[in-house]
Structure 1
Amino acid sequence: MACPKLFLSCLLLQLVFLFLVPEVAQGQGLKVGFYQKACPNAEAIVKEVIGQVMSVAPSLSGPLLRLHFHDCFVRGCEGSVLLNSPTHQAEKDALPNLSLRGFETIDRVKTALEKACPGIVSCADILALVARDVVVATGGLTYDVETGRRDGNVSSLDEADQNLVPPTANITTLKAGFARRGLSVKDLVVLSGGHTIGTSHCSSFTYRLYNFAGNGNADPTLDSNYIARLKLKCKQNDQTTLVEMDPGSVRTFDVKYFNLILKRRGLFNSDSALLDDSQTKAYLELQVKTGGSTFFKDFGVSMVKMGRIGVLTGTAGEVRKVCSKIN
């Protein structure tokens, strides 16, 4: 199902598919230190490259973190979001993925690893390791990443359209989408905290400013002052302007974005929806009150859990020599 130009109509179709095809977190065959013998410096190489990239292009931190999310939520964490298609029918060509960036950085990491250990480290594992390293580079806590994933050889635009949870999602849709991947309500709110770094195109949320219910009005759940600020940056049909998801703290991994949500300044409907569930709202309030007393550790735990979704291990799949194409 390719996304038609009518954005909201397409999103409605996506919501239907969220409830189809159960897909739970797995992770058999993964372990911390999987490359200890075959490529002992693998994680150090990834960290070094990411450190170099962050020193000159810190704005890539959010996009690089998003790559791992968008990969895992379609077919599982098997690197299919990185594949190119000569006919533009791969996951990266789907409407929700058109704003993804950082592919060149993943290629740079892969090149360094292939030079050190040819054919050993998968692109799927690179995505997981890079995600951890950008969290640390922006001020988050480190966590042990399980490795041992292998790369898939299928990448479908239709599947990306069907399976990625849209920013328009309400709390019911969010909980269902995460649950069918084996992720809890706590994982939902914790992983939403990843919006503390990065930016978004205006097109992902302008309907909340100009035509929320199809009547030409703004979303009444949004803070009016926040609406006014966003309208200054985003005109009604703006498809290109980037807006910080966590204004003033966009390059720092912290809990300030949770504070914004509590002030009714969550950029996406999927962020504001966290106020509509007692468990997710209570988590936001606790982290803001305590300065993120458990969030930083919780984020690592939930990322590891997400990284187990639908993995290929053992002899399944392959280890790509180039992340953008199958061997």
Structure 2
Amino acid sequence: MSVFASPAAFAAALADLSAPDAGAIAAARARQAVLTKPRGSLGRLEEIAVFMAGWQGRERPAIGQGRTAIFAGNHGFAVHGVSAFPVSVTAAMVANFAAGGAAINALAGAAGMDLRVVALDLDRPTADFTAGPAMSEAECLAALNAGAEVVTPDLDLLTLGEMGIGNTTAAAALCTRSFGGSAADWAGPGTGLDARGVARKAMVIESALARHADAPNQAFETLRRLGGREIAAMAGAVLRARALRIPVVLDGFITCAAVAPLAVQAPGIVDHCLAGHCSAETGHVRLLARLGLDPLLSLNMRLGEGSGGAVAVGVIRAALAAHAQMATFDEAGVAARL
């Protein structure tokens, strides 16, 4: 059964966002206050532990079952030369994921995360969004539901990523429509465009924005007109995770752009999300600021594939280990609080 049976069902889910467990947050903060360390001395790690406690609904959160979900899709606007690589690379990389040879295979394994790769009609790219909507309503709903399907109630943490030649173009278009500015403000080199290529990308985005200027400024319409199957799938996964109160780690520019239209309509959509890292892609710093997210890492990464989010899981695991395993002052027999 589809989670998002219609655009109205998607809008209803976006209007009814769950909240973290206030009792678990209070209990986690109380525990932090009595651990054998000066209060606040573990900095952001303490905040992560409390964040995870609230969404998992327990004083001592843990990652027993974590999943990295990667969605792949192709884009019709690629005919305009907005990428340094042909669309055939998308399928080739999906095959590499399946063979275990990609960076995300290694990084998800190192993070102790179950890896799921979902290829979405790679032989049928979305329509060219400069000529019309990228997807029909049915196609967009199918992509949203493909994302929702990977989110199961047993998960303690979900990280998201993507693969799709040209999809920094779609991401920049979503950001421009959602948060304003010009296409040139959001368009970057992606997988290696030179200055002329970036300028061409910005022109393609401006053409698409003009084509859809009169479209309703609603999350579903923005996604279906300017997004892609893999981008809509990530949006669906984020929204489904929120319904199940599962914390989410967002990867780079494209993953964060997937929630941009949702954030315009429901700013609290990212309350259950952590930004895994700040990528080197143009626009990601600005996008994180608009979403109100402070990235855990800044390693000059720009690979995609959910790679930055997977690396950030190590930081989250460290935060939870310190929170759960440290002794309290009473347990350690330390009389004086630091």
Question: TM-score, length-normalised on structure 2?
Answer: 0.27
Answer with 1 or 2: which has the greater Rg. Answer: 2
- Greater relative contact order (Cα < 8 A, sep 6+): 1
